[in-house]
Amino acid sequence: MAQQEVPPLAATSLEYGTKLVEPWAGWRVGLYADAAEAGAVFCGRGRRGVGTGVLDTRYLEEAQREALWPAAREASQGVAARRARTRVRRYCAANRLNRLGTLTYGPPFCRDPKVLRLHVGRFFRELRDELGGDPLPYLWVGEWHKDGDRLHAHFGVGRYVP
């Protein structure tokens, strides 16, 4: 049986616009085995980076850029928040963090995020020591109380804590 000849890809990027050659078009699959998760997206025709959800302001005048800054910043923050949620979900799934808890302060309340970070770090070091010193995967998130004046923390661990 004769072997079929495969046409070569375009030699330069200048040829991409004139040929039906899109080497980056197709399915992109990400496998996260530890989290038992996979994600796929189809990247169609067009320039890479187009449609990423972040406004491209390279070709705008300075005044137009400044007018679009709030929208661009909001879009960028939305993309960053989505990526953070995805990383948190995968970390929790990979480490089987299925026990949740909340750490709150009594008077005097905590109003400084740096102090909260120090206290939560100390809490988990002491908790790990109390549980035998073995590695203890955990995740915590600081949050402002409804009154907007006090802090508390939510956390997840992968085992029962008496």
For residues 121 and 82, what is the distance between their CA atoms, to the nearest angstrom? 25
The answer, yes or no, to whether residue 162 has pLDDT greater than 90, is no
Q: What is the pLDDT of residue 50?
A: 47
Q: Which residue has the higher pLDDT, 43 or 113?
A: 113
Q: Which residue has the higher pLDDT, 39 or 98?
A: 98
Mean pLDDT value across the chain:
83
Cα-Cα-Cα-Cα dihedral sign, residues 147, 151, 92, 51:
positive
From the number of C-beta atoms within 10 Å of its C-beta (0-12, 13-18, 19+), residue 11 rates as: exposed
Q: Which helix (H) or strand (E) holds 44?
A: none
Is the separation of the CB atoms in 25 and 45 below 8 Å?
yes
The whole-model pTM stands at 0.67
Cα-Cα-Cα-Cα dihedral sign, residues 85, 87, 93, 98:
negative
For residues 94 and 85, what is the distance between their CA atoms, to the nearest angstrom? 14
Q: What is the pLDDT of residue 75?
A: 86
Q: How far apart are the first and last CA of the chain?
A: 71
Q: What is the pLDDT of residue 20?
A: 53
